[in-house]
Chain A
């Protein structure tokens, strides 16, 4: 445990020096505030409070930004150390590979949680100040607060696994971008296209909701929308999947980090420096 904490502290310090902490916080806050301010123009007409509208925007933001930040933080973890030659020395110390990954994970997760809390918190504060009725949206906000790091954790695990598979930082970065594009962007488009083709058949009814829950980013979105009064604001894919039981999406968002980290450890164990 001492080793894990020492590694985590060192990793956090490195991220701080390399400006990753600042970049994560600024990106989160900037996008969250811009979305909130832009989103308020639409309020009033929909008959919901401002915080609910804000949270709905933040959920969409989180779906894109949290995986991106997590992959940016993690893609270098193994490949970078391999390339620099620091991994060989580290592995001769009396620490296990699981501990090395755990140290990095704690630091990176802390950075994501910090950025999400500050970013979402700022946006929520703006909504709460502007609208006295906005406290109705608080439960949804809390759910967003704790699920944000969980979504980040899933993509940190994926990032470590990619890093260990690639062995070279350049290749790892390429893989990370590809995974982000496929999981966060193309997956939904493909599902939507399938629904349109299916025209309300068995695919739409029986498979589609489960396929949506199987994607960590979509599971995050569904689970958060379920807590929000803003389901009415949801559109497209989410609207169609509103029937999904929250328990299924909860299991999905919790299972993903565990599976991804276990897989990352498995791949990392086979890396020879």
Chain B
């Protein structure tokens, strides 16, 4: 697979603050990478460097083999800034037609794009009258102009309602299926969990994790939670024999290391008639995120 985006050893400081610290990352065609990290971790700064909006202090960055921000790179890259803004006096359609012209796409494509993000009704109203989510959707529409090969999306779902979020991820899937590379930042862990191929976590400018979710899960070795539902009145006996903690009249919670999971499930099954049901909950992305973004890791 060819790497669409390739960074190595990238540094960026603002005075004494290291916003991006010796960061290396690649995103390949057809891949969706979620960039996570606390407020001020350096996600937006990293994206601006990739787009050539600010220069890195050090490191090599290649966007389709070109320098970030070069005319060559800009032709293939689409950006959705965090808190995207447009000129309030223009209508959504006028703004999008302008962007189409700048990308050498047919201005009439604007209509289709507006329909795709469900802005067709508001298309001829001034952007100054749009709600935050509508502006965000217009931002997404402009990013879709002209079949870009790399999408850099900074908190693309912030301000979107649940249905729009779903539609957004459906569009992402389509784009990735078409071979586009996608780098998006987010604070909404649950939606990123299911909808992206790889998770990259930044902490204080450094990349502290960068792998598919399953790999991060096994690397973190966080315990699996088994939730056992006991037959009415038997919860105490079940809790005692499994060495778990009783949480209410019928439920018993057991935490176990991932490698012990099958043994424990076997032991539970052996209790036979005392057990009503078992649920297995692997560590969520939230747990994994908390693990990797902790200040000191063992």
Known: A17-B89, A84-B87, A86-B85. A92 touches B79 (CB 8 A): yes
Docked-complex contact A88 and B74, CB < 8 angstroms: no
What is the bound-complex CA distance between A89 and B53, given in angstroms?
A: 9
Docked-complex contact B89 and A18, CB < 8 angstroms: yes
Number of A-B residue pairs, CB cutoff 8 Å, is: 67
What is the bound-complex CA distance between A18 and B87, given in angstroms?
A: 11
**B185-211 to A contact mask, C-beta < 8 Å, 1/0:** 000000000000000000000000000
Docked-complex contact B87 and A93, CB < 8 angstroms: no
Docked-complex contact B83 and A85, CB < 8 angstroms: yes
Docked-complex contact B75 and A94, CB < 8 angstroms: yes
Given the complex, which residues of B lie within 8 Å of A92, measured CB to CB? Answer: 51-53, 74, 77-79
Main secondary structure of the interface of A (DSSP, over half): helix
Which residues of B74-112 have CB atoms within 8 Å of chain A's CB atoms?
Answer: 74-75, 77-79, 81, 83-87, 89-90, 94-95, 98-99, 101-104
Q: Which chain A residue shows the least CB distance to B85?
A: A85
Known: A18-B89, A89-B84, A94-B71. A10 touches B94 (CB 8 A): yes
Number of B interface residues in the complex (CB < 8 A)? 31
A255 interface contact, C-beta 8 A: no
Docked-complex contact B85 and A13, CB < 8 angstroms: no
**A2-14 to B contact mask, C-beta < 8 Å, 1/0:** 1100110010011
What is the bound-complex CA distance between A88 and B54, given in angstroms?
A: 10
With both chains docked as a complex, state the minimum distance between the C-beta of A85 and any C-beta of chain B, in angstroms: 4
Known: A14-B89, A18-B89, A272-B53. A89 touches B102 (CB 8 A): no
Known: A13-B90, A86-B87. A91 touches B81 (CB 8 A): no
Docked-complex contact B53 and A273, CB < 8 angstroms: yes
B149 interface contact, C-beta 8 A: no
A95 interface contact, C-beta 8 A: yes
Docked-complex contact A10 and B98, CB < 8 angstroms: yes
Docked-complex contact B85 and A84, CB < 8 angstroms: yes
Q: Which chain B residue shows the least CB distance to A9?
A: B98
B-side interface residues toward A, CB under 8 Å?
A: 48, 51-54, 69, 71, 74-75, 77-79, 81, 83-87, 89-90, 94-95, 98-99, 101-104, 126, 139, 142
